[in-house]
């Protein structure tokens, strides 16, 4: 009954505001619920759940976030609460489990999208995350569509242009092509990877060159993220005729599209390519198929490898930076070790960056925050 009353109140209030444009707000006479709330070395999560029997919290800081859960306790006004020690500085995602059903935190405005799931974020401040939050000066993010003859459809891109792009109409910029992994899409690096925030901060602090960042969709059957609900084209990746179709679209369609429609410097020394997991494989394939195209190559937690001959060809073509990164508990770590050995063997100068942990976004943000400083210098 109380809940119904609250909703009637909300409706009355809404009528004066624009009924369908309501944000979460505190109802009159009720203490606003704050969640998550960081207090010194702790963080408190809260959820109002009037009729729930069991409410739990699940977060990506946990040893095994898929299995473990933390019990929440019912307090005043049916607000369930739990206080836990603050995890190390990083961006975490979490959710509540109310009587067995996954529920997002309605009080938290910070949300990332993973595929078709929306996940509330906890950003723990610290040196590790200082470039993951909003800078003062913002670059622009756009979603242009390019026509792919190779894949037979119009496809959506995400493009970041740095702060100042609009006010310096004669200036041309270098370009980083930044590729996602399996299960991702053209918004993965923006949403989970915090690319705009990382680049904004690095550029504002003078730690990275102002650059354009292009984030394509790496799934050859998809026109755009699944959230647009455009039917996918069947794509048989086992058919040899389909091999490298996306990478060819990237190198022979996307790169020219960007260099025509944005103020990009169209030279190998001003082109970088980086990608995680499947996108790391795409990065390696692009460097094999078009060894002259990119002077900066960064496979991250990559699925993919090269023959000694391919490494030699790439070395001959000239590389300004080869940045190979992987987590030391990543299921692809052995692959990275082999790549590293091959590069050493063939004498291709490179940086081998091994971090703690596995195949996760905390590592991919760290890698971007690291190698973006080394590009185009």
Residue of 44, 89, 114, 289 interacting with its own copies (CB under 8 A): 114
Of the listed pieces 111-119, 266-274, 304-312, 314-322, which binds its own copies according to CB under 8 A?
111-119
Q: Does the footprint of its own copies cover residue 227 (CB under 8 A)?
A: yes
Q: Which two tokens stand for residue 281?
A: 């494989």
Which is closer to its own copies, CB of 117 or CB of 233? 117
- 284-303 residues near its own copies, rule: CB under 8 A: none
Number of residues near its own copies (by CB under 8 A): 84
Nearest approach, Cβ of 49 to its own copies (angstroms)? Answer: 5
Q: Does the footprint of its own copies cover residue 242 (CB under 8 A)?
A: no
Distance, CA of 280 to CA of 286 (rounded, Å): 10
Helices 361-371, 195-204: inter-axial angle, 10-degree rounding: 30
Helices 308-317, 333-345: inter-axial angle, 10-degree rounding: 60
Contact 180, 215 (CB under 8 A): yes
Q: Does the footprint of its own copies cover residue 234 (CB under 8 A)?
A: no
Which is closer to its own copies, CB of 139 or CB of 220? 139
Q: Does the footprint of its own copies cover residue 28 (CB under 8 A)?
A: no
Nearest approach, Cβ of 260 to its own copies (angstroms)? Answer: 8
Dihedral pair phi/psi, residue 12, rounded to 5°: -60, -45
Q: What is the dihedral of CA 226, 182, 249, 283, to 10 degrees?
A: 150
- 195-224 residues near its own copies, rule: CB under 8 A: none
Alpha carbon separation from 133 to 23, 125, 254, 365 (Å, rounded): 22, 9, 29, 12
- 316-375 residues near its own copies, rule: CB under 8 A: 331, 358-361
Residue of 118, 235, 333, 352 interacting with its own copies (CB under 8 A): 118
Contact 276, 180 (CB under 8 A): yes
Q: Does the footprint of its own copies cover residue 39 (CB under 8 A)?
A: no
Which is closer to its own copies, CB of 194 or CB of 350? 194
Nearest approach, Cβ of 367 to its own copies (angstroms)? Answer: 14
* Closest of 124, 110, 119 to residue 24, by C-alpha: 110
Q: Does the footprint of its own copies cover residue 232 (CB under 8 A)?
A: no
Residue 66, number of CB atoms within 10 A of its CB: 8
Helix (H, G, I), strand (E, B) or coil at 313: helix
* Closest of 218, 217, 220, 215 to residue 150, by C-alpha: 220
Of the listed pieces 99-107, 204-212, 316-324, 369-377, which binds its own copies according to CB under 8 A?
99-107
Contact 69, 58 (CB under 8 A): yes
Of the listed pieces 101-109, 248-256, 318-326, 345-353, which binds its own copies according to CB under 8 A?
101-109
Residue of 11, 26, 38, 341 interacting with its own copies (CB under 8 A): 11
Which is closer to its own copies, CB of 91 or CB of 321? 91
Q: Does the footprint of its own copies cover residue 173 (CB under 8 A)?
A: no
Beta bridge partners of 298: 274
Contact 358, 185 (CB under 8 A): no
Nearest approach, Cβ of 248 to its own copies (angstroms)? Answer: 20
Residue of 82, 128, 150, 163 interacting with its own copies (CB under 8 A): 163
Find how far residue 44's CA is from the centre of its chain.
26
Q: Which two tokens stand for residue 311?
A: 């490494």
Helix (H, G, I), strand (E, B) or coil at 129: helix
Question: What mask, x for binding its own copies by CB under 8 A, covers residues 48 to 87?
Answer: xxxxxxx-----x---x-xx--------------------
Alpha carbon separation from 286 to 289, 306, 336, 361 (Å, rounded): 5, 11, 17, 23
Nearest approach, Cβ of 296 to its own copies (angstroms)? Answer: 23
Q: Does the footprint of its own copies cover residue 17 (CB under 8 A)?
A: yes
- 125-154 residues near its own copies, rule: CB under 8 A: 134, 136-146, 154
């Amino acid at each position: 009954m109380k809940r119904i009353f609250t909703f009637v109140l909300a409706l009355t209030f809404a009528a004066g505001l624009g009924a369908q444009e309501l944000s979460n707000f505190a109802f009159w006479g009720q203490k606003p619920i704050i969640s998550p709330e960081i207090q010194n070395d702790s963080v408190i999560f809260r959820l109002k759940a009037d009729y729930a029997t069991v409410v739990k919290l699940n977060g990506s800081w946990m040893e095994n976030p898929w299995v473990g859960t933390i019990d929440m306790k019912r307090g005043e006004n049916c607000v369930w609460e739990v206080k836990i020690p603050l995890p190390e500085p990083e961006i975490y995602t979490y959710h509540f489990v109310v009587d067995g059903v996954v529920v997002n935190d309605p009080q938290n405005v910070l949300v990332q999208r993973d595929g078709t799931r929306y996940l509330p974020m906890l950003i723990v401040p610290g040196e590790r995350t200082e470039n993951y939050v909003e800078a003062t000066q913002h670059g622009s993010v756009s979603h242009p569509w390019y026509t792919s003859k190779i894949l037979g459809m119009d496809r959506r891109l995400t493009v970041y242009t740095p702060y100042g792009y609009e006010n310096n109409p004669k200036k041309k910029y270098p370009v980083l092509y930044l590729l996602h992994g399996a299960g991702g899409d053209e918004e993965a690096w923006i949403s989970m990877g915090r690319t705009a925030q990382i680049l904004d901060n690095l550029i504002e602090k003078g730690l990275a060159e102002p650059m354009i960042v292009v984030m394509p969709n790496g799934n050859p059957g998809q026109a755009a993220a699944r959230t647009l609900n455009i039917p996918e084209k069947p794509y048989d990746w086992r058919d040899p005729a389909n091999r490298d179709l996306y990478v060819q679209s990237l190198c022979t369609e996307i790169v020219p599209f960007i260099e025509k429609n944005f103020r990009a410097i169209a030279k190998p020394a001003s082109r970088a390519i980086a990608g995680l997991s499947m996108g790391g494989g795409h990065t390696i394939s692009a460097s094999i198929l078009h060894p002259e195209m990119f002077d900066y190559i960064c496979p991250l937690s990559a699925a993919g490898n090269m023959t000694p001959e391919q490494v030699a060809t790439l070395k001959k073509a000239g590389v300004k930076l080869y940045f190979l990164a992987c987590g030391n508990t990543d299921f692809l770590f052995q692959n990275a070790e082999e790549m590293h050995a091959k590069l050493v063997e063939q004498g291709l100068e490179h940086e081998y960056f091994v971090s703690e942990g596995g195949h996760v976004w905390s590592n991919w943000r760290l890698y971007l925050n690291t190698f973006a400083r080394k590009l185009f210098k």
